[in-house]
Structure 1
């Protein structure tokens, strides 16, 4: 089954995008001291709620949900609360930067992964505008097919390099020179249930309709 992409022109009236972490707690039977273990496998969850759509949008949304065939299908979905990082919305200098080590050119404003990840909670990147606040805490990025939230403000250095603290940690290290997506960074998701229901009237007005998604690790 091909992976679908959620339509860019069907916008929810409200969107919930959150994280389901994977931890385990141990409580001592002697003194009730608690230890918590962080495990890999945190998943993004989303709930999109629709209250106003045209007839054509209603049909297209129902067609997409039907095509997913319950939890069997897969869809690329981005956080509707923050579809684009601020830096991506600002015109940047088109100056070309030469990477002598990799013998390649790249335009400023198109950041990529810089080398190999050693800390899966920090993404090394390059090709940012020099000495600039490039990302703010709470924004989203995508690299290596995984959606991440930036956990602290990020300022590039004089060479356009930036280390981005992210959550949740990477499951798989993105390849060197993989593009860092700022515009509609996506998660690989499925429906959270095999059932969806859409109630409408003969005048094609519909009641508030919500649909839940959960990330699928790759």
Structure 2
């Protein structure tokens, strides 16, 4: 089970990215290229803690100790994509339209419920909405996603859209905190866990 990110532990800089699982094949005769896309894309996250006071440093190193390098997982929030509005009472997966589209139910009928760039989380897997989405009169909406859905998602699974996060693991087993008088600093690398 993934650890929760401590609310009081805020990085000074966070970089989110996506690693796609594509392969290029280049002809030796014509130099023409074909690209094949496979499932298995994942989020990457780099966090820099430029100023860590004593209590923050202790909290961070204790979290890293609980993670035990690459072994454990943690839910890292996407702080810039938090939403305050309410798009429905019970926002859940209704079905899968295709590998990169999800049908969501329980949303407000006939309304623009998801906008370009919104993040949603389903069972620890985070997705970005890549097109605006308006719900039907029945309270369902089909959202286009930035990557293929990896897991089997049954109807009725809750969707987190207000406080999106990604379940991630460390990229390596080593961490180092530079300690100076009064403050410390550190940079950590994560990748989506699956």
TM-score, length-normalised on structure 2?
0.92
Aligned-pair Cα RMSD in Å? 1.7
1:141 aligns with 2:120: yes
Matches within 5 A, 1:6-45: 6-45=5-44
Question: Which of 169, 183, 186 is 1:205 aligned to?
Answer: 183
Deviating above 3 A after TM superposition, structure 1's stretches of 4 or more consecutive aligned residues are none
The Cα of 1:91 is off from its aligned counterpart by 5.1
For residue 117 of structure 1, give the secondary structure of its aligned residue in structure 2.
strand
8 A contact 2:75–2:124 mirrored in 1? no
Matches within 5 A, 1:1-218: 2-82=1-81, 84-85=82-83, 89-90=84-85, 108-114=88-94, 116-202=95-181, 204-207=182-185, 209-217=186-194
Q: Which fold has the larger relative contact order, with Cα–Cα distance below 8 Å and residues 6 or more apart in sequence? A: 2
In proportion to residue count, which structure has more strand?
2
Structure 2: distance between partners of 1:81 and 1:137: 14
8 A contact 1:141–1:182 mirrored in 2? yes
Structure 2: distance between partners of 1:205 and 1:18: 28
Structure 2: distance between partners of 1:91 and 1:80: 18
8 A contact 2:44–2:192 mirrored in 1? yes
Give structure 2 stretches of 5+ with no counterpart: none
Q: Deviations over 1:84-143 (max 9, x none)?
A: 23xxx1256xxxxxxxxxxxxxxx3431111x3241211101111122111111111012
